[in-house]
Amino acid sequence: MHDFQYRHGELHCEDVAVSRIAKEVGTPCYVYSHTTLTRHYRAFDGAFRSVPHIVAFAMKANSNLAILRLMAREGSGADIVSGGELYRALQAGIAPAKIVFAGVGKNRQEIRYALENDILMFNVESSAELRAIDEVAAELGRRARVALRINPDIDPMTHPYISTGLKKSKFGISADRALDEYKLASSLKHIEVVGVHKHIGSQLTEVTPFVDALKKVLVLVESLKAHGAHIRYINIGGGLGITYLDEVPPHPQELADAISPLVRDLKCVLIMEPGRVIVGNAGILLTSVLYTKEGESKRFIIVDAAMNDLIRPSLYGAYHEIRPVREVPHAKTVTVDVVGPVCESGDFLAKDRAMPDAKPGDLLAVMSAGAYGFVMASNYNSRPRVPEVLVKEGQIHVIRAREEFADLVRGEVIPDFLR
C-alpha cells in the first residue's frame, strides 16, 4: 500500500496534488510520501516484535539524508556498503551501534573510518578481507566485531543482476569454507566473530528462499558454536520484494512468522537489512511529456526524465508502471515506448507499453521509483540530477535541490598547459 492515489481524477501524494509539486519544483523530480515511508518501516519493524532484532535499513536503496533521518527517528540502523554511505548515515544521526558494513571490496580507509566510529560490525566476505580488517584494527588498537557472510547457494528466483547468494556469485563465503574462515578469524587477535550474515538477493517474492537459506546458515551456526564461537547476531539480509506490476510478495508479517520461530531460542539478536520494501513504493519519478513522435513502426512518448534519472528499465529491463497525473476519461489506450532525451537507444522508461495516450505538457508518474531510483542517477549527457521532494501533512519539502549547470563541472580543472 502507498499514498499515491487519485482524487477526482488527479494523482495525489497524500493530500498534495502531484501537479502542484510539478508547478512548484518543476520536472523531472522524485517525490516521496512521509506517511508511506513511516508505515512501511513500522510494518516491517513491528512484524519482528517477538524477537530481539535490529532493522538496518539498506541505504543503498535510497540514501537521501532526510530519508535516513526519518529512519533514524524510527529507530532504524543502517546497512552500508561504502565509506560514503557511512558518512551519510552518521550525518543523518543513525546510531553507529546499529550500523553493519557489507561489500566485497572494503578498502583500508573505509575499514579505518568504520572502526573509528565503532560501528556494530563488518559483514566479512573473504579471508583476505578478514586479514585487512585485523591489520587496521591492530593499528588502531581495537578489536573489530565481524559476521561471516555466508553464501548459502540458494536461488532467490529473481533477476540475475540482483541474485547474490548463488555459488557463482562474488558475494560471501561458501558454507563448506565457513568453518575454515572462522578458524582463521578466531586466530586473529583483533577480530571478534560475533555473528553470521547472509543476503541472497533482491526483489524476492516468496518466503521459501529466505527460510531455506536461513536453515542452511543455522546448521552452520551449530557447527561454529561446537568450535567455540560465540554467535550473538544472525543477519538474514534484505531482499523482500514489492509490487511493480502483478507480483504478490509476502507481507513482512509472513516473513516474520516464518523466520521468528527458527531463531527464537538461539539467544541471538536478529538483524534484517530491508531496502526496497521500505522505500520502493513510497516514491515516484514525476516527468513531463515533451513531444510525441510517430516512428516507422512505433509511437514514442518523449519525456523530460531519462535513463540517467532512473536506470532500472535500461539496466534490468525493470517494469515501472506509468500513470497519467490527470486521468482523462475515456482516453484512448495506445502502445508506446516512453523514452527520454538521452542519446542512447537504451534510454527508455517503458517499452511497448499499453497506456492512455499522452500529449505534450502532460504530467506522468513513474511509479515505484523510491528504491534504486535517485541513488543510481548520473550526470550522463551532462544532465543535472533532479530534485527530491518529501511530502508530509500537505507540505512539500525539497530534500535535495535540483543541480545547476555549475554543479556539472565542479571539481574539473583545465591544466595550465591548456590555458
Ligand X SMILES: *Cc1c(COP(=O)(O)O)cnc(C)c1O
CB of 108 to ligand X, least distance (A): 20
Q: Nearer to ligand X by C-beta: 195 or 324?
A: 195
Tell me the window of 42-50, 66-74, 271-279, 349-357 that interacts with ligand X (CB under 6 A).
271-279
Which cell goes with 63? 540514501
- Per CB under 6 A, does 237 bind ligand X? yes
Binding residue (CB under 6 A) for ligand X from 156, 274, 340, 387: 274
Tell me the window of 37-45, 53-61, 248-256, 341-349 that interacts with ligand X (CB under 6 A).
53-61
- Per CB under 6 A, does 33 bind ligand X? no
CB of 105 to ligand X, least distance (A): 12
Binding residue (CB under 6 A) for ligand X from 60, 383, 385, 392: 60
- Per CB under 6 A, does 202 bind ligand X? yes
Q: Nearer to ligand X by C-beta: 160 or 360?
A: 160
**Catalytic-residue membership of 343:** yes
- Per CB under 6 A, does 238 bind ligand X? yes
Q: Write out the binding residues for ligand X, residues 240-269 only, by CB under 6 A.
A: 240
Binding residue (CB under 6 A) for ligand X from 3, 125, 181, 273: 273
Binding residue (CB under 6 A) for ligand X from 18, 61, 133, 306: 61
Number of residues this chain uses to bind ligand X (CB under 6 A): 17
- Per CB under 6 A, does 276 bind ligand X? yes
- Per CB under 6 A, does 195 bind ligand X? no
CB of 275 to ligand X, least distance (A): 3
- Per CB under 6 A, does 125 bind ligand X? no
Q: Which residues bind ligand X (CB under 6 A)?
A: 58, 60-61, 79, 102, 199, 202, 237-240, 273-277, 371
Question: Active-site residue numbers?
Answer: 343
